[in-house]
Amino acid sequence: MANMVKNSHRRPKHYKTLLVNFFGLPREVLLDLPRLVMLGNSRMVVENHRGLLEYTEETVRIKTAHNGEIRVTGKGLNLLYMVKEELGLAGRFLRIDLPEGEE
């Protein structure tokens, strides 16, 4: 029974991946993946985020779907704007850690 529950939990994601691969649909929409757009090492736009975990001038941690986290380390970081689906980040980026295990 426990095995069945586990399978039923996995199945939709599996089907979504198949669907995305088969029809060539945008992955970030169907799979809830964050989308990052970077301009050099000074501007970044993060779409499909789930909020902020930490915000200082040196570190910004952004929550993503499936309990993931994007960690941006740098100098003089500040948020240019923030709305429900998107946020803009500026500063001098030194390191970006991306969430593990996403397809």
Partner 1 sequence: MYRWLLDFYHGYLVVMAQGKRLEAFLNSAVGKGIYLWGIRRPAPGRLLFRVRGKDFFLLRSAFRRCGCRGKILYRSGLPFILRRLLRNKGRWLGLVFFITTIQVIASFVWVVGVAVEDGELPGHLQIREELREIGVRPGVLRGRIKKEHERILEELTVAFPEAAWINVELRGVVVLVTMVGKTPPPAKEEGPADIVAAKEGLISELIVLEGTPLAKAGDMVSRGDLLILGEKVLPSREGGFITQPVRAEGIVRARVWYEKRSEEPLEIWRPVRSNRQAVVFSLRCRERLFPFFRRGKVSGKVLWERQTKSICRGRNQVSLVELVKDIYSEVSWMKVRISPEEALARARREAARELSFLLPEAATIKSRREEWETGGDFLVYLLVVETLEDIAQPAASTREKQEDGYDQSHSQGQDQEKTPEDGAWQAVCI
* Interface positions with partner 1 (CB under 8 A): 51-57, 78-84
3-state helix, strand, coil in the chain (%, to 5): 25, 45, 30
Helix (H, G, I), strand (E, B) or coil at 50: coil
Q: Which is nearer to partner 1, 2 or 83 (CB)?
A: 83
Q: Which is nearer to partner 1, 57 or 103 (CB)?
A: 57
Q: How far is the CB of 87 from partner 1 (least distance, A)?
A: 8
Q: Which is nearer to partner 1, 25 or 52 (CB)?
A: 52
Q: How far is the CB of 21 from partner 1 (least distance, A)?
A: 32
**Which tokens sit at 86?**
């998107």
Q: How far is the CB of 30 from partner 1 (least distance, A)?
A: 23
Q: Looking at 49-103, which runs of residues are DSSP E strands?
A: 52-55, 59-64, 68-82, 86-97
Helix (H, G, I), strand (E, B) or coil at 63: strand
Q: Which is nearer to partner 1, 30 or 55 (CB)?
A: 55
102 DSSP β-pair partners: none
Q: How far is the CB of 75 from partner 1 (least distance, A)?
A: 13
